[in-house]
Structure 1
Amino acid sequence: MAKPSSKSKKSTFSSSTDSTSPDNLAQEEDHPATATITVTAVEIPELTEQEISDRLHLERKVERAFFEAGKALAQLRDRRLYRSTHRTFEEYCRDRFGYTHRRVNYLIAGSVVFDNIVTGTNCSQNEEVDKTGTNCSQNGEVDETGTNCSQNEEVDKTRPNLSRILPTNEGQVRPLAKLEPQQQVKVWQRAVQEAGGKVPSARIVTDVVQKIMERTRIPNTYQTGEVCQILVKDNPELRGKGGCWGIISQVNDFSCTVKLWDGEYTVGLQYLKSYNYLPAECEQMQLISDRITRLRQNENLEEAGRAVLKYLGELKRPYLIQVEQKLLSLIELECEMEG
């Protein structure tokens, strides 16, 4: 008599469910563990060897000077080099570097300002001479005063070369982010002068920016209770607020305090645009704003309720339609009941 084989046979599963016979169906019912389940997976392209190398290289830069960190973070974000380990860029920066979303935006914006200063003053971090001939003499010697000089002119070595004083941290250039590139260069050089030819502090840079805004300021014509739209432009502090409406609660010299759906913010005049609503329409929006504020401060408000409030905070009209009115009333009722 033949001896039975001691090797167990491997079960073979079909990847298709179109040709399942009645016998197979019966067998699957008797043995549910062997049933075939088809799962559709979304493929995320793996990082190539070059991308892995680039990621490590850029991560090292992030941990160094702020301007290199900003450039590296911008590349990591734009090329999505975080996709192999994290779902979002924000999660990746928090886990890998311990950076908040706001900190990342400041670093990226700061690197752009740094580049503008370097380009505008025709110098580099290593104090290389501009090859175009700017800031150099006829025979190629560098003018120590930071201005053009001829071959026979005597160099004044007692004056600091302002074009070679560059920012050393992100806080020094943060006040410049709201200015145009040419203004950024002029303000930085003025700040270096006020710092005695040394790297100016963030406070000095802020003071110079404030003085320039005072000379060129536009009269603040906004009024308390006016409804305005938020314009983000290049302001990282307003990220996610673009298109939201708000009620002006305080009018300042160069800004307004605006109450949005998720809180109050101090916003520069260049980031505001009036809806030019009629007084009655402004009053109606004020009532909606008050209801939203009360709900937002309610500890029983759930995530779905916050999503509705955010939607209402982005309306482009001075009233609620019937379904929006019902949603808002329902959330108010639910919060009262749970309270």
Structure 2
Amino acid sequence: MNIPPRKRKKATSTSSDLQPVANPQDFSHQDNQDVVTIDVPAVEVPELTPEEQSDRLHLERKVERAFFEAGKALAELRDRRLYRSTQRTFEEYCKDRFGFERRHPYRLIEAAVVVDNLMQMCPIGTQIEVDSSDGQQQSVGTQIEIESSEQQMCPIGTQVLPTSERQIRPLTKLEPQQQQEVWQQAVQKAGGKVPTGKIVKDIVQRIMERTQVPNTYQLGEVCQILAKDNPELRGKGGCWAIVTQVNEFTCTVRTWDGELTVGLKHLKSYEYLPEDCQQMQEVCDRISRVYSSGLEESVQKFLESLGKLKRAYLTDLEEKVLGVLELEINTEN
């Protein structure tokens, strides 16, 4: 059967659907007619008041020296052994309390020493302003009296200081005078701003290349620490230490109370035989365990004296006293 074709329905539209086709020229004309100029009033940013400027400077300095304050606090925690009630060693304490890996707290401590040294470049004979403990600025003359941690940082405009530990990590390999010189060069290269760690590292590398001395120390070697006007080694002069890491220009060494990084010129090998070095390693472990146990101050002094021995063995009396101390801490535990 043939199906008849369907008829198409005619499209219908209302009057509202029918729009005249616009002439392109009309658009151009209409656009020109609809251009409207809008006046936007300028917003004036008010200047900071003297009090706000002081607050800003005070808060900026807190941010800048966060790592510095951390390093100073860690150094005091370590030196006063304030961890002894909960942990046996400083490294264990930093790991459990702050989540710091083994080297990080020592890097912060070393960085704080560098910042202390850099702050010595502040001119003392000129009139400057420093922050007081209440955040207000006070003017001082030729004598600067530092009464709080708020006053220890050099004011902005007088000296640019580091804002992170990484920026000055390369400086820990240098002598105090070299640290100051390199930092000044780095600030100049950064256009008067805080230099990056890479800028500082490049300058240090050039100095090292000019004065490079081959590092011949070996892991486990027993050396004597030579303080030689290095404030970082205060109290360590004459102590023996065991090399735990050989770096390009420094060695990381272990003493009875922790690790530190020492420049090659501050080390002198005892040239012990391998078996003597092994024996000193065992003595170091024993002294460290007793030292970190928190016994009386007189005991600590005895242990510190063992840390300055210039021989690779303990006398019979020293061995007996150390054995008694080991027995004591084992009994307490």
TM-score, normalised by the number of residues in structure 1 = 0.47
Q: Which has the larger radius of gyration?
A: 2
TM-score, normalised by the number of residues in structure 2 = 0.48
